[in-house]
Structure 1
Amino acid sequence: MKTDNFKHKNNSGFKVPETYFQDLENSLMNKISVENELPAIEGSGFTTPDNYFDELEDSILSKSVAPETKVVPLFKKEYWLYASAVAAIMVIMLGNFFPSNQTNDLGWDDIEVTALENYIYDSYEMGSIDLNSVEYSDLITQGDLEADFTEIDTEAAFEYIDENVEDPSYIMD
């Protein structure tokens, strides 16, 4: 093999004298001598005033107490009051523009019979209604009973019995 064909050569290009590393220690010691020493420092160089640590805590606390700042709200209460008053006026005005035509005239025909029966039954169970036959017989006379049943249509009575009575043996022919 030829040595000229190597990409990297063994010679770096830097040269050092032959006894450089052996003489290095001696040359450094010669340059550092006792004459070049710094004079001895007798203190650290840092001093504090008298009674500094006695007054330190009070000094820190007096500086750390921040004055209370005034809090300015973004939305004042007055604005909310004005806004709610305007909203209430708008709702009232809209109610006048769109009146409702519904009438709530309730009568006996609007009440379901089962709801009335449940109300009477629940009231009797709770003790609100006392069904004493003697007291009710004083209120209703025989003439009132006869007057009530004279106006009943027989056709309607048979239709009612047919729809509401479950046992057909009660129906008379």
Structure 2
Amino acid sequence: MSELQMRVSDEDRERAAQQLQRAFTEGRLTQLELEDRLEIALTAKTYGDLLGLIEDLPVEQSQGGDVVELESKNGAVKRSGDWAVPRRLRVASKYGSVELDLSEAVVDHPVVDIELDLTYGSAKIILPEGGVVNVDAFQSDWGATKTSDIPSRRRHGSLYVVISGQAKYGGLTVRYPRRRWFTH
């Protein structure tokens, strides 16, 4: 399934509607065009539906908070515990590893896009129980991509993580948290 066929959220519809309203106030759309496009935006089902409404408008410059970029040249990039996961995350590491533990993180989005750019190093991503991952857009030149028994088909009510990008000399492992066994 392509990203254009993925279903949109209410937040996605609202963001598109706001962009259309800004275009109207800037004189880029007529009143009739705005009304027609808003009707479609508020009932859109897929990203493809929304893209057709805004592709002839300038790209918003005010989405700095929408994408978070993490970068390291020599050290490891690590996030774990109680941290806020952005909707889109870009991680670049030249000589280090990447570990993103989402199992205890605050995730306010049903879909999280993670783009990896790794040269010498591997990535490990830990999903919360029930999370789903799509690694179809990730390429590893000299390493393996392992997803254990994690499903790749999107499920209603489950976190859906889409991982894209590449690793030149490293791989990608996606797993659930390890179960802790306690003895009494």
TM-score for the superposition, normalised by structure 1? 0.19
Q: Please identify which structure carries the higher strand content.
A: 2
* Greater C-alpha radius of gyration: 1
Q: Please identify which structure carries the higher helix content.
A: 1
Higher relative contact order (CA 8 A, sep 6+): 2
